[in-house]
Amino acid sequence: MEFEPTEDQALLVDSARRMVETEIKPILDGNPHDRPLSKAEMLKIFAVFAREGLTAPRLAVEAGGSGLKMLDYGMIYEQLPPVVAISLLSHEVTITRIHAESTQEQRDRFLPDAIAGRKICCTGSTEPDTGSDPRGIKTRVAERNGKLVINGRKMWITNGSISDIAVITCIGADPAAAAGQSQMRRIAIERKTSPYEAREIPCVGLQQGHLAELLFDDVAVPANNALGSTGDAARVLTVTWNVNRPLMGLSAVHLAQRALDAAVAYAGMRKQFGRLIGGKQLVQERLADIATAVETSRLLCYKALAEVDRGVRSNGLSAMAKRYATNACLQAISLAMGVHGAMGISREMGIEQFFRDARMLVVPDGTNEILALMIGRELTGIDAFRS
């Protein structure tokens, strides 16, 4: 068991940090922090991701990806500002799912531009009345005049408003089943040829990002855009979650680490009662708690990703990593705000933005309550979701 990164991993992390400082951070800093980036700016960022092999890290090299180990990917991902990390995650997960359930013709048609960062992808599963239980999906697909016609709404879709390709989970008739029987189906929709409406959803954090509602009103899609075998959509939808969840936790670690760095620096310069606050016992206790939350969260997320690399079933561990890291890091950032006193709630210091961004990470890929039930199911073997 090794806890130190290898030389190659250290080089990957250092390269990712330099990429962020020289190419991504200037774009974020050069645009308003409270409004979504333009698509043109996002395409600049995706061009950087593509050059670094981050747009398809889970695909093998022979399939056009970079074939990264998930632990290595996680160590790189942790260095990315969460607002673009979440966008990258939505994009590369969609690429992974298209590859997993498509024909070679579909891969040749959809993936080259997406992997090159010339087109931006998103996945749409959640709906206004449906979140963790996919059985409640209401978006319908029907075959009409040789086309697939889609009607419905999708909510909380990362990249939705800037997407060129959306992979949508629908309910539709199974041609191979008895008449009237429906199954979940996944359809790749190219926005240029099958336009759909997208509405930005203003949120408390990650405000330079793109969280949207997608509306489909008789959107006609070519029949050969249907992915996979009818009925296997639920299986494909779940295979990527064991990586997504610890990655989401590592975005929280990124924010908490920055808050810790800021709190340590402030404690070393701010004086009260004639001495630096860094010498006060209660301040040191807060710093110790923040540092512990960062370190434990990071290690748990790394372990979950390492288990994926080993091919071990990691459903419970991945849920645990995301649930623990997002909670612990949100609390750690709150403590860092306290170390800063009144400055902690000012926009000048930026700690409040860390807090708002971290709060956004609690919900995607399973709320804390759902993740707790997943962990409980792994421990007991009893499913609390269904009777």
Backbone angles phi, psi at 143, to 5 degrees: -90, 125
pLDDT tops 80 at residue 232: no
Task: Share the mean pLDDT of the chain.
Answer: 92
Average pLDDT over residues 187-191: 96
What type of residue sits at position 133?
Answer: D
Give residue 130's pLDDT: 78
SS3 52: coil
Give residue 183's pLDDT: 83
CB atoms within 10 A of CB 315: 16
User: Nearest to residue 82, comparing CAs of 250, 319, 271?
Assistant: 250
Q: Which two tokens stand for residue 361?
A: 């990470």
The predicted-structure confidence for 254-275, as pLDDT tens digits, reads as follows 999 999 999 999 999 999 999 9
Average pLDDT over residues 93-101: 93
Q: Report the Cα 199 to chain-centroid distance in Å.
A: 19
Average pLDDT over residues 54-59: 96
What is the CATH topology of the domain spanning 121-229?
A: Butyryl-CoA Dehydrogenase, subunit A; domain 2 (2.40.110)
How many Cα atoms occupy the beta-carbon half-sphere of 234 within 13 Å?
A: 10
Give residue 241's pLDDT: 87
The conformation of residue 326, written as its DSSP 8-state character, comes to H
Q: Which secondary structure element, helix H or strand E, spans residue 59, and what is its range?
A: none
The predicted-structure confidence for 310-361, as pLDDT tens digits, reads as follows 988 889 999 999 999 999 999 999 999 999 999 999 998 889 999 999 999 9
Cβ atoms 207, 34 nearer than 8 A: yes
Query: 7-115 with 240-380: one CATH topology?
Result: no
Q: Report the Cα 274 to chain-centroid distance in Å.
A: 46
Give whole-number Cα distances, 373 to 318, 364, 369, in Å.
Answer: 13, 16, 7
Give residue 40's pLDDT: 98
pLDDT tops 60 at residue 309: yes
Give residue 386's pLDDT band: very low, low, confident or very high (50, 70, 90). low
Class of domain 7-115: mainly alpha
* Superfamily of domain 240-380 in the CATH hierarchy: Butyryl-CoA Dehydrogenase, subunit A, domain 3 (1.20.140.10)
> How many residues belong to the chain?
387
Residue with tokens 């966008």, as numbered in its chain: 87
Cβ atoms 158, 203 nearer than 8 A: no
Give residue 249's pLDDT band: very low, low, confident or very high (50, 70, 90). very high
Compute the distance between CA of residue 218 and CA of residue 150 in angstroms, rounded to an integer.
5
Give whole-number Cα distances, 240 to 90, 280, 328, in Å.
Answer: 11, 46, 24
Cβ atoms 333, 297 nearer than 8 A: no
Average pLDDT over residues 226-242: 69
CB burial class (10 A; 0-12, 13-18, 19+) of residue 229? middle
Residue with tokens 């370190």, as numbered in its chain: 295
Predicted TM-score (pTM) of the model is 0.93
CB atoms within 10 A of CB 55: 26
The conformation of residue 130, written as its DSSP 8-state character, comes to B
Residue with tokens 């975005």, as numbered in its chain: 251
pLDDT tops 70 at residue 180: no
Give whole-number Cα distances, 352 to 30, 248, 250, 340, in Å.
Answer: 19, 19, 19, 11
Cβ atoms 164, 214 nearer than 8 A: no
The predicted-structure confidence for 3-52, as pLDDT tens digits, reads as follows 899 999 999 999 999 999 999 999 999 999 999 999 999 999 999 999 99
The predicted-structure confidence for 102-131, as pLDDT tens digits, reads as follows 999 999 999 999 999 999 999 999 998 876
What type of residue sits at position 159?
Answer: N
The predicted-structure confidence for 136-179, as pLDDT tens digits, reads as follows 789 999 999 999 999 999 999 999 999 999 999 999 876 655 55
Helical residues (DSSP H) of the chain, grouped into ranges: 7-19, 25-29, 39-51, 70-77, 82-100, 104-115, 233-239, 241-267, 281-310, 315-339, 351-360, 368-380
Give residue 289's pLDDT: 98
SS3 183: strand
Give residue 184's pLDDT: 83
Average pLDDT over residues 301-310: 95
Domain boundaries, the chain: 7-115, 121-229, 240-380
